[in-house]
Amino acid sequence: MQTATLRIGTRGSPLALAQAHETRSRLMAAHGLPEDAFAIEVISTSGDRIQDRPLSEAGGKGLFTKELEEALLTGRIDVAVHSSKDMPTQLPDGLRLSAFLPREDPRDGFIGKAAPAIETLPHGATVGSSSLRRQALIRRMRPDISVVTFRGNVQTRLRKLEEGQVHGTILAHAGLRRLGMAGVITDLMPLEKFPPAPGQGAICIESRIGDARVDALVAPINHHDTALALACERAFLAALDGSCRTPIAGYATVDGDRMHFGGLILSPDGQASFDVTLDGLVGEAESLGRRAGEIVRDKAGTRFFESWT
């Protein structure tokens, strides 16, 4: 067996492995190399191990990336494959996001046991979600519903739903599609009513800055429009100091040389919200996102953000 050309680091959940395998398949096709040229190395992360409390209390998004980034910096792996929505806006010195795969459908899917949609759930029903954005959007739609923290991978959450711990839950359509499980969705949430997290549906590749060999390998699988959209969405997040502690939605689309962005911030109870829509040139993706963040920050005022701490 030949020595691997590229060592791909990933978390060990079924969805993370599906994303790593998709990355490997695209690399194999791009370079005409066999499967064993790309070794997949599973690395356990703090976010996977901590299941007894919300991520916002345990340390935020970085809990899903810390150990993978340490492996990158020490040379144990050459690239790390992530869900883009898990990535903090500030990366460790020496690392960068070097490629994005074509984005899947960014919408959320509701999986209901007591009713097929959030709107038709019985009064006082319980919905489980670990995302503060989803929790706030649910509360905005149905203030009577009890929203509880729901940790674990896709399979774990669906098992908890089957056991009757909650009446429904919400998962990303993209992840369910990648697992071949989209059929469990009972209601696909429209973007206008239930906007996605920045980066939702997009797989990203993180690598070391200045590693020309790795850059040359991953460059052919970078999807230009997805990279532009994510640059805008991540700039919006950064302008708001976005993390797992903040209910933020944002979604950018590219049409030729133009870009459209819609962003939303909410109070955790969903009762206060401020939104923004902007259009601009794709070459201004980052500045568009930053400007959008500044606009909603100014709209909301400083007192609004005190509810996030």
**Would you please indicate which residues are annotated as catalytic (active-site) residues?**
86
> Do 205 and 100 meet the contact criterion of CB atoms below 8 Å apart?
yes
Contacts of 171 (CB under 8 A, 6+ apart): 108, 109, 111, 154, 157, 185
Q: What end-to-end distance do the CA atoms of the chain give, in Å? A: 52
| ∠ Cα 237 240 243 (to 5°) | 60
List, in sequence order, every residue forming a beta bridge with 132; answer none if it has no partner.
none
Supply the Cα-derived Rg of the chain in whole angstroms.
19
**Position of tokens 């007591």?**
114
Closest CA to 57 of 245, 288, 305: 245
Alpha-carbon distance of 85 to 243, in angstroms, equals 10
